[in-house]
Amino acid sequence: MVKYAKTFENDLMKLFHIMVKSGKPYEMIRTALTGRMRLFLKDEKLIEGFSPKFSVGCRRIAPGDPCMVAVTKENVQCHFTGVKEITETGLIGDDGTVVETDTIVCATGFDVPYRPRFPLIGLGGTDLRKKWEVYPEGYFGLACPEIPNYITFIGPTWPVENGSVMGPLTSVVDYTLQIIKKMQTENIKYWVPRQDVTDEFNEHAQSWFKGTVWEEDCNAWYKDRKTGRVDAVWPGSALHYMKLIKTPRNEDFDIKYHHKTNRFNFFGHGFTERDVDFSPDADRSPYLNLENLDPRYYQ
């Protein structure tokens, strides 16, 4: 089963190459998908109507094979204009076409502002809803300045379209556990990403998107509709993200300790658990074991 799953995951990870416009995969995918559309649709009017003017990946890749089969049925009519007016019996398109219908389904997308729908108050009374009101800027897609001890999944500038999300999600869990362990071990009251560090990260991300499919003019949920700013995508592959958050960059954080005058108070009485283990099989020299030695020394 693992081998079967890895087949799909490996293919998903390779897809990220099509998002960078300077490589061969970028050219190959457009040719391949255009050919597949022609195979199903055949009608030039349908091909023209369904072919986007922007690159593959700027929006989610669609339609799928079942959709292309459906639109060729005799009882299906495709209109490629906007809706000018809704009437009692149907609607009128921007081109003046009148369509009689019983039901209208509005498939306008979904709301992804990243702003929490409840008060999330941080340092100095900072409300995350207000902080991300104009556009969301987080730290590595998982944290935010002025909001201490806050880790989220699939936050702004996270690898939602950079390959499979399974690996990055697991990496965020591992990252969170490392943070929790550090807090518990070192008696930390809170940690929070620095604002200047977060600003530099987001500056780099916006610069990196130049030369990718997301810089093009397409109405995608990855981007702010008014400014075109890319809010959702990580500046690199999913594997790139996993590597970068493998170990927390503590130098990027402001850290506050519970002890008010000395951060090293957590040193305690100066002994480890091994030091006070007086059982006969206690190991006080863990540094001496074969795993820590080069095999060439004892072979």
- In degrees and rounded to multiples of 5, residue 143 shows phi and psi of -150, 175
Poorest-pLDDT segment among 5-19, 100-114, 160-174, 255-269: 100-114
Non-local (6+) Cβ contacts of 190 within 8 A are 148, 149, 255, 256
Radius of gyration of the chain (CA): 27
- In degrees and rounded to multiples of 5, residue 30 shows phi and psi of -65, -45
Query: For 183-218, how does the pLDDT look when each residue is reduced to its tens digit (9 = 90+)?
Result: 999 999 999 999 999 999 999 999 999 999 999 999
Q: Check residue 112 and give its pLDDT.
A: 82
Q: What percent of the chain lies above the pLDDT cut of 90?
A: 82
Q: What is the pTM of this model?
A: 0.89
Q: What percent of the chain lies above the pLDDT cut of 70?
A: 99
Q: Check residue 137 and give its pLDDT.
A: 96
Judged against a pLDDT cut of 90, whether residue 243 lies above it is answered with yes
Output the average pLDDT for the chain: 93
1 to each of 5, 12, 31, how far by Cα in Å?
6, 17, 33
β partners of residue 254: 192
Q: Check residue 268 and give its pLDDT.
A: 93
| Helix or strand holding residue 92 (H, E) | strand 90-93
* Helix, strand, coil distribution of the chain in percent, nearest 5: 40, 10, 50
Contact 137, 229 (CB under 8 A): no
Judged against a pLDDT cut of 80, whether residue 109 lies above it is answered with no
d(CA 87, CA 50): 26
Query: For 249-298, how does the pLDDT look when each residue is reduced to its tens digit (9 = 90+)?
Result: 999 999 999 999 999 999 999 999 999 999 999 999 998 888 888 888 77
Contact 32, 25 (CB under 8 A): no
Query: For 22-40, how does the pLDDT look when each residue is reduced to its tens digit (9 = 90+)?
Result: 889 999 998 999 999 999 9
Judged against a pLDDT cut of 70, whether residue 88 lies above it is answered with yes
**Confidence class for position 64, pLDDT limits 50, 70, 90:** confident
Q: Check residue 63 and give its pLDDT.
A: 66
Judged against a pLDDT cut of 70, whether residue 12 lies above it is answered with yes
Q: Which of 96, 71, 62, 102 is nearest to 81 (CA)?
A: 96
Give per-residue burial for 228-266: e unless 16+ CB within 10 Å, then b.
ebbbbbbbbbbbebbeebeebeeebbeeebeeeeeeeee
Q: Check residue 98 and give its pLDDT.
A: 96
Q: Check residue 129 and give its pLDDT.
A: 97
Contact 213, 55 (CB under 8 A): yes
| Pairing outcome for strands 253-257 and 188-193 | antiparallel
Q: Check residue 219 and give its pLDDT.
A: 86
Prior bond of 286 cis (ω within 30°)? no
d(CA 77, CA 107): 17
Instruction: Tokens for 171, please give them.
Output: 């990496």
Contact 122, 146 (CB under 8 A): yes
Mean pLDDT of 241-251: 98
d(CA 26, CA 214): 13
